[in-house]
Chain A
């Protein structure tokens, strides 16, 4: 079947989303379209197994391991695969490096594309209309709201995720963290520092 341009402007659902979600789940299980154990497994994966700790591991490794860092920028998808972090909504990865000349920041203006296997489920602000509208036009103002202070020498590069390429920002390693081990560095790499709306910070 193909589309015409009018056929699915329907409203099928009752207004209360909580009620609707529960009834819909029941209906689909009764219809045999869903296995309840599958639903539990999905929630378990995104609550406990996939999250920003994956991305932090990648970044911390790139800070201490020159060979890995080279692979991460030359062939990012292979580098991420070598750590086992590819997957749904992170099939093709590009790593972009912050330097004293460049600060990178990621958005998806058309929906909310985000590197799920590296950073988990996107946070609410990333999915908000205001971030989607503003990040491409006033990134510096947005960064200010996040408390990110740019250096005068830094140009801002915004990456609008319009295809299936997912972007991972590799922040600069803070001076005061130099000399720490990979494991010690992981908690410095905050989720927002890998979206570009934050900087790595010393863990409390």
Chain B
């Protein structure tokens, strides 16, 4: 599987694109956004799984697709994977089976889902003793999923194997590495870890004392002995 989405710190000479001032640049962008939210609201997958499906697109597609093309391709694969749509239906866009009744999410229900969101915070469990703020840690290397070879993870490659310091603690949160693969939320303590620019980039750092902060789960980190 590709790790093409994991692009932080990759060499890049491109300037930033000129800003588009409208909320939706094209009409079909509105369609893709609203389809993604409305079908997602049926509850057949979760946000981690939808990220995993977008980043698992064929690498050349991921590279050339615009943002909403990635969303649409990810959504279609999720719908096929979960049985909402048949591959045959995507060839001619004709319904192969009898339409389902009463499944769709109403405007009112969707509105409250947007307002409530889907918090990843869970209650504490005894499996993990959270580290204290100020603990020095090293991120695991390689940045691999513990449950599944080439599975989803949120430890970017550029931060893997480096020393940082825990600066914030956020409580126990769903672990994307498990949740994306429908293995349950497996909540772990979540921290913000601060890295010095010189630690991550060495001599290439613009300013050695600038800091890069990442939100990382307990199992991504190994505590180091204090100074």
Q: Which residues of B contact A33 (CB under 8 A)?
A: 39, 42, 84, 100, 103-104
Q: Which residues of A contact B159 (CB under 8 A)?
A: 160
Q: Which residues of A contact B84 (CB under 8 A)?
A: 31, 33
Q: Which residues of B contact A165 (CB under 8 A)?
A: 170, 190, 192, 215
Q: Which residues of B contact A117 (CB under 8 A)?
A: 117
Instruction: Provide the bound-state CA to CA distance between A94 and B114, in Å.
Output: 19
Q: How many residues of B contact A (CB 8 A)?
A: 114
Closest-by-CB residue of B relative to A46 is B23
Q: Say whether B38 contacts A38, CB under 8 Å.
A: yes
Q: Answer yes or no: B99 CB below 8 A from chain A CBs.
A: yes
B131 to chain A, nearest CB (A): 16
Q: Say whether B105 contacts A35, CB under 8 Å.
A: yes
B18 to chain A, nearest CB (A): 8
Closest-by-CB residue of A relative to B81 is A8
Q: Say whether B12 contacts A129, CB under 8 Å.
A: yes
Q: Say whether B173 contacts A5, CB under 8 Å.
A: no
B31 to chain A, nearest CB (A): 4
Q: Say whether A3 contacts B181, CB under 8 Å.
A: yes
By secondary structure, the A interface counts as: mixed
Q: Which residues of B contact A6 (CB under 8 A)?
A: 1
Instruction: Provide the bound-state CA to CA distance between A139 and B201, in Å.
Output: 12
Contacts of B128-159 to chain A: CB distance below 8 A? 148-151, 154-156, 158-159
Q: Answer yes or no: B209 CB below 8 A from chain A CBs.
A: yes
Closest-by-CB residue of A relative to B180 is A3
Q: Which residues of B contact A8 (CB under 8 A)?
A: 53, 56, 77, 80-81
Closest-by-CB residue of B relative to A156 is B210
Q: A2-B183, A34-B38, A141-B206 are in contact. Are A21 and B32 (CB under 8 A)?
A: yes
Q: Which residues of A contact B173 (CB under 8 A)?
A: 163-164
Q: A43-B33, A165-B215 are in contact. Are A34 and B95 (CB under 8 A)?
A: no
A92 to chain B, nearest CB (A): 6
Contact of A32 (CB < 8 Å), options: B104, B111, B190: B104
Contact surface of A with B, Cβ cutoff 8 Å? 1-3, 5-13, 17-18, 20-28, 30-35, 37-43, 45-47, 50-51, 86-92, 94, 107, 109-112, 117, 120-121, 123-125, 127-142, 145-146, 155-165
Name 21 interchain pairs, CB-CB below 8 A, sorted by A: A1-B81, A9-B57, A24-B93, A25-B31, A27-B95, A31-B95, A35-B106, A38-B38, A38-B107, A51-B23, A88-B37, A91-B118, A109-B156, A110-B55, A121-B33, A130-B12, A130-B16, A136-B200, A139-B210, A141-B206, A165-B170
Which 7 pairs, one residue from A and one from B, show the smallest C-beta to C-beta distance? A109-B8, A163-B215, A41-B107, A164-B120, A133-B12, A21-B28, A32-B99
